[in-house]
Amino acid sequence: MHLAAHFPGVNSTTVWSDPRSGSQIDFTSFEHLARTAERGKFDFFFLAEGLRLREYDGRVHDLDVVGRPESLTVLNALAAVTDRLGLAATVNATFNEPYELARRFATLDHLSGGRAAWNVVTSSDAFTGENFRRGGFLDRADRYTRAAEFVSTARELWDSWAPDGVPRPFAHHGRHFDVCGEFTVPRSPQGHPVVIQAGDSDEGREFAAGAADVVFTRHGTLEAGRAFWADVKGRLAKYGRDSDDLKIMPGVTVVVADTDAEAQQDAAEIRRLQVSPQNAILALEQVWGRDLSSYDPDGPFPSVDPEPESGFVQGRVRVADPFAVAAKWRALSEEKGLSIRETVIETTTRQSFVGSPQTVAAGLTAFVDGKAADGFILVPHLTPGGLDAFVDRVVPLLQERGAFRSEYTGSTLREHLGLAEPVWKG
């Protein structure tokens, strides 16, 4: 089993009102979570990316945790206070250029002694594009062709230094990139930093099967996980890859307490704090695409219909079919007699593993044994102490079961993940 720790940046699940909730930006917070993950022998530490603050109705959204450091810079600093932990940065392939990014990731790999990973994401968002030279955006199909060419160009750059330490001039002339010259960073300890991909669309799955070392998913149930696992692993053969060459790691939350009953109680309380009255209305506005601030979160659903083509929500993906979601939520509310807030809590809960340390350890192991996951990216609801209980109470049980390592056996992230060093293609 592989384990990773996510430091949540901009999000609506961090319970920032909890007195134990610390800074989202001070380096000490990042250091605490990373050191906890390393104490738990985790494979890697994972950061998402933000390139534009979310807006609602033309104003910056103010209810959620917001503000975060730039990932690669923080990870380089974390390399100084950790020894073995992998360091994964999400960096957009739409608003960057291959040469610069390949250089920054190769640098992180050198400076961390082979612990760098790149989570490749794309953007189709003109709203985000307003912060960049490129200005515009790419349509859905182009996003992935650019991302695929971006990654292959980066790999050509990483391969342009032979293992003997001699650089070769490189030239890449493709549809999206036309670059040539000499790369300034020698081949790094991992050969290529680990490539992670997140994205559940058909294009995303194909891209992952062809180019990624790790896939980050959100499939929370055993059945959905098994279906995703089978589908993505089934695509590997046509790229000449084996099942073990790609690790599938869903993002999950864990609530652990002395007993199952206590953990269920804690989980309900966490959900109530995550979905404040204001956040309940906001969740509704995301589906409806319009201002619903006059509605009572403890009252019934609005009778108005969603606005299909709405610019109300910016910087956040809107549900594909708002009418269907609205109908489903209304029906659930009527059937069970739930208020707006209760309905939102019921429908958006994604707590994956809730229970005693034994229950959680058994649940995680069942996912891996059942071919629904190769491991997990844990998303704590508290920063920076949200993984302490998991590391202190669940990890030892996983180690006793032989499901998780007791010590690091390698020094690089590729070694932790059991991934072969990429063959040099000079």
Q: Does 221 bind other proteins (CB under 8 A)?
A: no
User: 98 is written with which tokens?
Assistant: 């291959």
**Nearer residue to other proteins within complex by CB, 73 or 201:** 73
CB of 224 to other proteins, least distance (A): 31
**Which of residues 17 and 303 has its CB atom nearest to other proteins in the complex?**
17
Please state the closest distance from residue 334 (CB atom) to other proteins, in A. 27
- Residue 57 within binding range of other proteins, rule CB under 8 A: no
Which of the 8 DSSP states describes residue 393?
I
Among 108, 246, 284, 378, binds other proteins (CB under 8 A): 108
Contact 387, 5 (CB under 8 A): yes
- The tokens describing 102, both together, are 């390949």
Give min distance, CB of 151 to other proteins, in A. Answer: 17
Alpha-carbon span 281 to 271, nearest angstrom: 15
- How distant is the alpha carbon of residue 135 from its chain centre? 25
The minimum distance between CB 261 and other proteins, in angstroms, equals 28
The answer to whether the peptide bond before residue 384 is cis (omega within 30 degrees of 0) is: yes
Question: Of the ranges 70-78, 195-203, 215-223, 397-405, which one interacts with other proteins (CB under 8 A)?
Answer: 70-78
Of residues 13, 217, 253, 279, which one binds other proteins by CB under 8 A?
279
How many other β-carbons are positioned within 10 Å of the β-carbon of residue 237? 11
**Beta carbon nearer to other proteins, 25 or 141:** 25
Q: Which pair of tokens denotes residue 310?
A: 């709405």
Cβ proximity to other proteins: between 185 and 212 the closer is 185
State the helix-helix crossing angle for 140-158 and 98-111, rounded to 10 degrees: 50
Q: Rank residues 87 and 147 by Cβ distance to other proteins and give the closer one.
A: 87
Q: Binding of other proteins at residue 130 (CB under 8 A)?
A: yes
Residue recorded with tokens 């534009």: 52
Q: How far is the CB of 290 from other proteins (least distance, A)?
A: 19
Q: Which of 68, 143, 247, 271 binds other proteins (CB under 8 A)?
A: 68
Q: Say if CB 379 and CB 350 are below 8 A apart.
A: no
178 counts as binding other proteins under rule CB under 8 A: yes
Contact string (CB under 8 A) for other proteins, positions 84-103, x = contact: -----------xxx-xx--x
How does DSSP assign 295-327, residue by residue? S-TTSPPPSSPP-SS--SEESSPPPS-HHHHHH
Q: Does 25 bind other proteins (CB under 8 A)?
A: yes
Region binding other proteins by CB under 8 A among candidate stretches 48-56, 246-254, 255-263, 373-381 = 48-56
Q: Is 63 in the site for other proteins (CB under 8 A)?
A: yes
Q: How many residues bind other proteins, per CB under 8 A?
A: 63
Backbone φ/ψ region at 402: left (φ over 0), alpha (ψ -120 to 50), beta: left
CB 283 within 8 A of CB 325: no
As a whole number of angstroms, the distance between CA 3 and CA 44 comes to 7
| Alpha carbon distance 193, 87 (integer Å) | 10
Phi then psi for 248, rounded to 5 degrees?
Answer: -105, 120
Residue numbers of the site for other proteins (CB under 8 A)?
10, 16-17, 25-27, 31, 50-53, 59-70, 72-74, 76-77, 79-81, 95-97, 99-100, 103-104, 106-108, 110-112, 130-133, 135, 167, 177-182, 184-186, 276-279
